[in-house]
Structure 1
Amino acid sequence: MAKANNSQNVSFGKPKVGGAVFRAPMGTPLPQNATDPLDDAYENVGYISDAGVTNTTDAETASITEWGGLTVLTVVSSTSETYGFTMIETREESAKVRFGDSNVKADELGNLSIDHNGLPSDMSQYIIESILTGNRPDRYVIPSATVTEVEETSLNSSDAKGWGVTLAANADDRIGGATSREYIAAIVDKVELALAEGDTAPKTNMAPEETQTLAVKATPSGASAPVKVTTGFTVQSSDPETIAVEGNVITAKKDGKATVFVYVANNTLSLEITVASAKAALTGARTRTAKTSK
């Protein structure tokens, strides 16, 4: 049965608060969904003009005609994809996009020295972060891109100074040979944490070396019942030395407290966990008993 129309799927493409376009050196780890935290190597290029970001696909075709002039076959002979935006913050990160890493120098105070040497030759990878209606993340991952065009820079009293660039997205094996990959978070009405096995909530008290495999119970928009999933969300720890994270598995490492954060669709869940060894738990119990006896 075909799905009915849903106005929640109609959106503007607004920038993510705190940064919308990020750049990193080639080889930096790529996020695997719409909510994965970015590697520290990604640098925010600053505010983008109100024209936003444009994504364009161009294609060339070749046709075969028969004797009478009818087209009997048309094939796509080549395609290319580009992204365009104008950076309106004058800062080191945006200057490196426009002019290239080797042409931009910044001292400890932030003074910039920029050599205008035509188009930059650097290949870099980019992440574009957009937010759809309902705080729904929409992420574009561009593993390899080259600046192929730049806009003229105007200096006047009515327009913001900006560096406009066009990025040519290059095919990359890390995303199956595609030129970019878009991740759009689901619309969910209700989410809660669970364990992968059984139907219980995760424990808030753990012993060192104890593990828990997390799952998420979520109700997709328009659905009547929740589903339990073990993928499609991101887990982080406030203190990896106390609670380590690998995928959706958390492992207690040493006595202490840590908060586990789970990012799913447009929701953030948290779980505060106390890690205590048997010796620490026994000492705590004795202390409470002593206080009670007094």
Structure 2
Amino acid sequence: MATNNNKGNVSLGKPKASGFIYRAPAGTEVPTDAIGALQPVWECVGYVGEDGITQSPNIDKTEVKDAGGVTVLSEITGYAETYQFVMLELNKTSATIRYGSDAVKTQGDSMTIGHKMPSGESAAFVFEMALTGSKVRRIVVPDATPNDYGDTQYHIGDAVAYDVTMAANPSDQIDGETSREYIATVGK
């Protein structure tokens, strides 16, 4: 059977102009398609660093070898995934992702952030992308918890940025999956 290359299936992970990363409290109903409007409870984190979002699988394998050292069985025995991104804006949403909702207090235009041991607070995330060929991609993570934080540097050479890695946990909202992608064609 012959296959045909199709450059229309090649795309960049470009953020949508309206926003790239959205957060909502744990338990929020997640979208079930690529194009429906997000409810007001979903808050945009603002600008994200130029490296975008990195989705990383973490796969555990069990290998069985025979007496001669030949692998006779290799199976995946564990799966997890994380999403890492760098937030360039400091606002209530980005601060909550980095420090936890109980550490962030706002009053008018003022914000106070307490630095302490992270609580492992769950939140829901939606990642919105515009693809080539009038397509959009939406990645939904109904249950994410902090997994790692990068360094924050304060100097004149770079923007102050907040590097976070969120672990995607299995969720009943998406049949026990850790995340779900929706892709659709729009505007044709």
Q: TM-score range by the shorter chain?
A: over 0.9
Which residue pairs with 1:130 in the alignment? 129
d(CA) in 2 for partners of 1:159, 1:132: 29
Q: Does 1:34 align with 2:34?
A: yes
Whichever residue aligns with residue 9 of structure 1, its letter is: N
Which residue pairs with 1:99 in the alignment? 99
Per-residue deviation, 1:173: 1.5
Whichever residue aligns with residue 141 of structure 2, its letter is: I
d(CA) in 1 for partners of 2:64, 2:139: 36
Which residue pairs with 2:68 in the alignment? 68
Aligned positions of 1:1-294 closer than 5 A: 4-108=4-108, 110-185=109-184, 265-267=185-187
Percent identity reads 38
Per-residue deviation, 1:118: 3.0
CA deviation vs aligned residue, 1:87-115 (integer Å, no higher than 9, x gap): 0001111000000011101112x210000
Per-residue deviation, 1:267: 1.9
d(CA) in 2 for partners of 1:51, 1:133: 18
d(CA) in 2 for partners of 1:180, 1:157: 37
Give the paired residue count.
188
- Shifted more, 117-126 versus 22-31: the winner is 117-126
Alpha carbons 1:28, 1:39 under 8 Å: kept: no
CA deviation vs aligned residue, 1:102-146 (integer Å, no higher than 9, x gap): 1101112x2100001132421001000111113411110001000
CA deviation vs aligned residue, 1:152-198 (integer Å, no higher than 9, x gap): 1000111010111000000112211110001111xxxxxxxxxxxxx
Change beyond 3 A, Cα 1:161–1:123: same
Task: Give TM-score, length-normalised by structure 2.
Answer: 0.95
Kindly report structure 1 stretches of 4+ aligned residues shifted beyond 4 Å.
Answer: none
d(CA) in 1 for partners of 2:177, 2:42: 21
**Higher Rg:** 1
d(CA) in 1 for partners of 2:118, 2:187: 41
SS of residue in 1 equivalent to 2:8: helix
Per-residue deviation, 1:3: 5.2
d(CA) in 1 for partners of 2:130, 2:50: 15
Whichever residue aligns with residue 162 of structure 2, its letter is: W
Per-residue deviation, 1:78: 1.0
Per-residue deviation, 1:4: 2.2
CA deviation vs aligned residue, 1:185-225 (integer Å, no higher than 9, x gap): 1xxxxxxxxxxxxxxxxxxxxxxxxxxxxxxxxxxxxxxxx
d(CA) in 2 for partners of 1:120, 1:11: 37
CA deviation vs aligned residue, 1:227-286 (integer Å, no higher than 9, x gap): xxxxxxxxxxxxxxxxxxxxxxxxxxxxxxxxxxxxxx2128xxxxxxxxxxxxxxxxxx
Gaps of 5+ in 2: none
SS of residue in 2 equivalent to 1:52: strand
Relative contact order (C-alpha < 8 Å, sep 6+): which is higher?
A: 2
Per-residue deviation, 1:151: 0.7
d(CA) in 2 for partners of 1:3, 1:177: 34
Task: Give TM-score, length-normalised by structure 1.
Answer: 0.62
Whichever residue aligns with residue 71 of structure 1, its letter is: T
- Shifted more, 1-10 versus 45-54: the winner is 1-10
SS of residue in 2 equivalent to 1:129: strand
Change beyond 3 A, Cα 1:3–1:29: farther
Alpha carbons 1:98, 1:120 under 8 Å: kept: no
